[in-house]
């Protein structure tokens, strides 16, 4: 059974668990030091209320994370990280699983008035994934 919710800074180890199962991000393997640096910044942002992590759990284990970072000065936000465990690492399989976390993050950001967002992964990833994600997300197809 799957459940999707926001995690707190105290629960950042859920994201670390996903990194252990799939250490890739932005097309390269992230060393443990890189992961620790990134996750400490994410936790600081969560404590400040500007970073949010939507995590999907399957049978109590984290399998998906979407991290969003608010940029109030431009009324927008940035997708800081999207990850799914390696066993689901194919767009046709991952999109329906990832959609709930993306939708939760979109709801949160839009409730704060942030209607524009951007991602920093390679363009080819977004073109393929987002085309498929539109079929599963309540909001992305708008």
Domain-located, residue 37: yes
Domain-located, residue 140: no
pLDDT tens digits for 57-71? 999 999 999 999 999
Which structure tokens are listed for 89?
A: 């690492």
More confident residue, 138 or 36: 36
Instruction: Please count the structural domains in the chain.
Output: 1
For residue 43, give the CATH number of its domain.
Answer: 3.40.630.30
pTM of the model: 0.88
Four-CA torsion 62, 27, 115, 69, nearest 10 degrees: 60
Residue 73 CB neighbours (<10 A): 6
pLDDT tens digits for 13-31? 999 998 887 777 766 788 8
Residue 54 CB neighbours (<10 A): 24
Domain-located, residue 63: yes
Instruction: Supply the DSSP symbol for 86.
Output: G
Domain-located, residue 23: yes
Domain-located, residue 142: no
Residue 102 CB neighbours (<10 A): 25
β-pair type (28-29, 2-7): unpaired
Q: Assess whether pLDDT exceeds 90 at residue 129.
A: no
Long-range interactions of 103-106: CB distance < 8 A, separation 24+: 103/137, 103/138, 103/139, 103/140, 104/4, 104/5, 104/6, 104/54, 104/66, 105/52, 105/54, 105/66, 105/68, 105/79, 106/137, 106/139, 106/140
Which structure tokens are listed for 59?
A: 């049978």
Domain of residue 31 covers: 2-133
pLDDT tens digits for 86-121? 666 677 788 888 899 999 999 999 999 998 877 766
């Amino acid at each position: 059974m799957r459940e999707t919710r926001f995690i707190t800074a105290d629960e950042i180890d859920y994201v670390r668990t996903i990194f252990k199962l799939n250490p890739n991000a932005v097309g390269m393997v992230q060393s443990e030091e890189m992961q620790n640096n990134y996750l400490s910044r994410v936790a600081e942002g969560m404590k400040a209320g500007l970073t949010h992590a939507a995590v999907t759990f399957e049978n109590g284990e984290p399998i998906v994370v979407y991290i969003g970072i608010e940029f109030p000065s431009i009324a927008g936000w940035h997708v800081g990280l999207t990850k799914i465990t390696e066993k689901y690492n194919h767009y046709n399989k991952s999109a329906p699983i990832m959609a709930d976390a993306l939708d939760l993050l979109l709801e949160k950001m839009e409730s704060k008035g942030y209607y524009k967002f951007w991602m920093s992964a390679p363009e080819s990833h977004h073109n393929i994934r987002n085309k498929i994600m539109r079929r599963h997300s309540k909001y992305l197809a708008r």
